[in-house]
Homo-oligomer: A and B are copies of this chain.
Amino acid sequence: MAAGSQIFPALLLIADGLGDRLVPELGNRTPLEAASTPTLDTMAAEGESGLLDPIAPGVRGGSDTGHLAILGYDPYRYYPGRGPFEALGIGMEVRPGDLAFRCNFSTVDSELVVLDRRAGRINEGTTELAAALDGMVIEDVTCFFKESIAHRAALVMRGPGLGARVTDVDPHADNVPVWVSHAVDPTDEASVKTARVLNAFVRKSFEMLDGHAVNTARRAEGKNPANVALPRGIGVSPHLPNFDAMNGVKGACIVEVGLVKGLARYLGMTVIDVEGSTASLDTDTGAIGRAVVDALGEHNFILCNVKGPDVAGHDKNARGKVGIIEKIDSMVAEIIEATHGQIIILVTGDHSTPVTYGDHTGEPCPVVIWGPPVRQDFVKSFGETAATQGGIGRIRGLDVVRILTSYMGVQEKFGA
């Protein structure tokens, strides 16, 4: 940094699923364009706008791959598949090198033929069932197990010499036997070991769950017992460089998505929970904004994610998306006021979730950057259409953190 130059903190605000398409019921505007957003519009007028492809143009990303990319980790290199992220998302500890699987509690007969892959969509007692399996040791491998929502759970295997190239045990259908896992390459001894441990885990899970009190009660009520755990979607937990060390910042994360919370923890960021944060349209954005301001005391890079726009997008709820965007606008106004504007703020989405489509799509998200050192362009409001004229042009998720740390004044120079 140059002597005497000012250092600024930064807020990276992800309105989850922000990007959208033209909505007839909103007068052929996007929800962001239909919303009353005086703060975001002022930021666009005073700062720079553009379009951001979280991963690459046209790629339909997830919240996991989108946030990975926006935080500077190329998802094509670092995304390990759903297993590790699922485990992180429900608060399990995942270490580099661990194997992780998504799991179902399922119903099998004594021959391990699957009768019901979702065990009657069980939604009670899974904490007790998971506790029975958690900590199981097979050979020199420890198996950590935790329930998620309904019939879902995750398995983390930790031990020496485990390979990841194994076939699934979940047959993905009812009335067929549980598959026996094999190493894809029989000479790959590490994967042979994983397949052996995996098959033993499945067998043991049946032995431990079939007579469990929870299942005795379920049978008495005429419900399918959750008497086996069937892992799938193996992933090796990657070695991700520490976010703070890589970027020369002290990062904190205030996010509403469990998966992103797990990711941030994994990257070494401080994870801050907020009371009143519901990850839905009724979330307390005021409380989230106050938490952001508080976090700036000991941190200078805040990742904040508000989930509501994505929820409304999945529900095809155009008015709901407009409403949560207006709440986010007020939140940003309060953050600017509390920091006296001495902050760099970047607002964008991790993917588009158009209310006309009801799921993630590959269009870019609008992006605005605002703060004392930020250049200007000719754009006067924040929206998908206006952003096409912006000075940022079209950037990618991987560019975001570098753009911020340059404006913050904390980035190491590359070269002389």
Contacts and interface: CB of A to CB of B under 8 A. Distances in A.
Contact of A58 (B360, B393, B406, B416): B406
B395 A391 contact: no
Contact of A60 (B21, B400, B412): B412
Nearest to A66: B415
Interface string A30-66: 1000000000000000001001000111111111111
A223 interface: no
Interface of A: 1-5, 21-22, 30, 48, 51, 55-66, 75, 79, 82, 85, 259, 314, 354, 356-363, 373-378, 384-385, 388-396, 399-407, 409, 411-416
Nearest 3 pairs of A and B residues by beta carbon: A62-B415, A58-B402, A362-B406
Contacts of A391: 51, 385, 388
B57 A402 contact: yes
Nearest to A410: B60
Copies of this protein in the complex: 2
Contacts of A389: 378, 388-389
B358 A416 contact: no
Contacts of A415: 61-66, 75, 79
Given A58-B402, A357-B373, 11 more contacts: A2-B358, A5-B358, A55-B414, A57-B395, A60-B411, A61-B413, A62-B416, A63-B415, A65-B415, A82-B416, A389-B389
Contact of A413 (B4, B57, B60): B60
Contacts of A21: 373-375
A395 B411 CA distance: 22
B357 A403 contact: no
